[in-house]
Amino acid sequence: MNIALLGFGVVCGGVYEILKKLPEYNVTKILIRNPAKKTMDCMTLDFADIENDNDIDLVVEAIGGLHPAREYILASLNAKKHVVTANKAVVAAYFEEFVAAAKENGVKFMVEATSGGGIPWIKNLQRVGRIDEVTSLHGIMNGTSNFILSAMTSEGKDFYDVLKVAQELGYAEADPSADIDGDDVRNKCAISASIAFGCPVDVNSILQSGIRNISKSDIDWCRENGLVCKLFATAKRCGDKFDAVVEPVMLDCYTVEANVPKNYNITCLYGETIGEVKLYGQGAGGLPTGNAIVQDIIDVNTGSACDITFDKKLEKAEIIKGRYYLHIPAGTDGYKYITGDITEKEIPSENGTVIITKETTPAEIHKLTDKEKSVFAARFI
């Protein structure tokens, strides 16, 4: 099988190293942006060299971002080349379009590496879906945020102190917004829910909140109450309706998810006959993500790749509900944005007030956090 790589960064570098050990797979073209980095004859600065090469069977896309990634993926599919991608942002935004183009051209579009890194998450969602209706999924899908929360819990440090360490170790970018504000997890949630429920889930319909506002006092409160805070993606289906949200949650300290350490991920699904399935492993990195890409390549080459199909029509509804922990900092207007009688208990804290709510929806909580950005909110599981 002849393969082209779009990009030659950490991920495609990992793919290249793995494929060198598999003689039946040949990397014949590599698209790069910087002419100064052209170190091999197979490297090119022109995507047309790949698009018009009829000997190339499969294209790996890992350049990131929406454009020109979307255009490269569509052009590759329309040239009747299989596509394997690790680009969660472009898949979440254009999933339905890519699946339709792959079907029209009789090729495969593979996305294992977009969600969960080296964890075989997408493949198992598809396998379970052959027998069961997947009614719910959740998970820790971002290693950076999990590293920060784990270190705050185990070491008793403040958020920004741990974030600095994560940046020094390379777990967090100089601008960590996509990780700590939930953008990355929302993309993975949209992709996962689309696969699980058999219908394209609009990423913009998924409410999200991150961990930017969590403080040491919130972690201390969790510890005193036998709880651990994690950033979760959650999606549920009930009949012809579904719901999805990305937000911090509070878990009993003895649960598996509460004990996922450092930059590891865990993904969980529920099916009627298989019950609950949990998958654990490295959620990012060149070799784990490269491994997921190569697994997709092998599946395509051996004819064992599952088609992605969107044959369901589901309506977004408020299915996910729960009680919430709200930390309203002193001197803010948070109180006046709490709509309805959702307060169950108020607890004074050293730098504000903690409110425990009655059962409510993520949408109700977002009415507060959208207007008062400094509030930290987490749903009890």
Q: 373, exposed or middle or buried, with CB in 10 Å at 0-12, 13-18, 19+?
A: exposed
How far is residue 180's CA from residue 200's CA, in Å, rounded to a whole number?
25
The CATH number of the domain holding residue 35 is 3.40.50.720
- The answer to whether residue 296 is domain-embedded is no
* Residue reference for tokens 């022109």: 46
* Co-location of 242 and 354 in the same domain: no
Residue 108 · residue 100 · CB < 8 Å = no
For the chain, the average pLDDT equals 95
Q: Are residues 103 and 137 in the same domain?
A: no
- Residue at 246 is within a domain: yes
For the stretch 164-177, pLDDT in tens is 999 998 889 999 99
Evaluate if residue 285 carries a pLDDT over 90. Answer: no
Domain assignment present for residue 289? The answer is: no
Q: What backbone phi and psi angles, to 5 degrees, belong to 53?
A: -90, 105
Whether residues 258 and 380 share a domain: the answer is no
Q: How much helix, strand and coil, in percent to the nearest 5, is found in the chain? A: 40, 25, 35
Q: Do residue 251 and residue 166 come from a single domain? A: yes
For residue 297, is it within any domain? no
Query: CB atoms < 10 A from the CB of 367, how many?
Result: 14
Find the helix or strand (DSSP H, E) in which 262 lies. Answer: none
Model pLDDT for residues 298-325, shown as the tens digit of each residue = 999 999 999 999 999 999 999 999 999 9
Are residues 208 and 127 part of one domain? yes
Task: Give how far the C-alpha of residue 251 lies from the chain's centroid of Cα atoms, to the nearest Å.
Answer: 20
Question: Residues 80, 134: one domain?
Answer: no
Structure tokens at 106: 């009789």
Residue at 168 is within a domain: yes
pLDDT digits (tens, 9 = 90+) for 41-57: 999 999 999 999 999 99
DSSP collapsed to 3 states, 309-342: CCCCCCEECCCCCECEEEEEECCCCHHHHCCCCC
Whether 292 is in a domain gets the answer no
Residues whose CB is less than 8 angstroms from the CB of residue 62 and which lie 6 or more positions away in sequence, other chains included: 5, 6, 7, 9, 11, 12, 15, 85, 86, 87, 113, 293
Residues noted as catalytic? 188
291 within a domain of the structure (yes/no): no
For residue range 197-255, what is the model confidence (pLDDT) as tens digits?
Answer: 999 999 999 999 999 999 999 999 999 999 999 999 999 999 999 999 999 999 999 99
Q: Which residues contact 248 (CB under 8 A, 6 or more apart)?
A: 209, 210, 211, 214, 229, 230, 231, 232, 376, 377, 378, 379
Instruction: Round to whole Å and give the CA distance between 193 and 137.
Output: 8
Is residue 294 included in any domain, yes or no?
no
Please determine, for residue 192, whether its predicted confidence score (pLDDT) is greater than 70: yes
- What span, in angstroms and rounded, lies between the C-alpha atoms of 85 and 279? 21
Q: What is the pLDDT of residues 83-110, one digit of tens each?
A: 999 999 999 999 999 999 999 999 999 9
For the segment 284-311, the average pLDDT, to the nearest whole number, is 94
Provide the 3-class DSSP secondary structure of residue 285. Answer: coil
Per the CB < 8 A criterion, the answer to whether 296 and 110 are in contact is: yes
Domain identity same for 346 and 222: no
Asked whether the CA dihedral 297, 299, 302, 308 is positive or negative, the reply is negative
Looking at the fold, whether 220 and 202 belong to one and the same domain comes out as: yes
Do both 130 and 235 map to the same domain?
Answer: yes
Q: Determine whether 305 is exposed, middle or buried from the number of CB atoms within 10 Å of its CB (0-12, 13-18, 19+).
A: buried
pTM of the predicted model as reported, rounded to 2 decimal places: 0.97
Same domain, yes or no, for 332 and 228?
no
* Single-letter amino acid, residue 322: G
CA distances from 115 to 10, 184, 191, 238, 340 (A): 16, 10, 8, 23, 37
What pLDDT was estimated at residue 338? 78
Place of tokens 């509900």: 321
Q: Do 47 and 8 fall within a single domain?
A: yes
Above 70 in pLDDT, residue 339? no
Strand ranges in the chain using DSSP code E only, listed in sequence order: 2-6, 26-31, 43-44, 58-61, 82-85, 109-110, 134-140, 207-208, 227-238, 241-252, 264-271, 275-282, 315-316, 324-329, 343-349, 352-357, 376-380
Integer Cα distance of 69 and 66 in angstroms: 5
**What is the CATH classification number for the domain harbouring 184?**
3.30.360.10
Number of domains in the chain: 3
Q: Are 280 and 274 in contact (CB under 8 A)?
A: no
Look at residue 135 and give its three-state secondary structure: strand
Backbone angles phi, psi at 221, to 5 degrees: -60, -40
Q: Band of the pLDDT at 335, cuts 50, 70, 90?
A: confident
Domain span at 341:
321-381
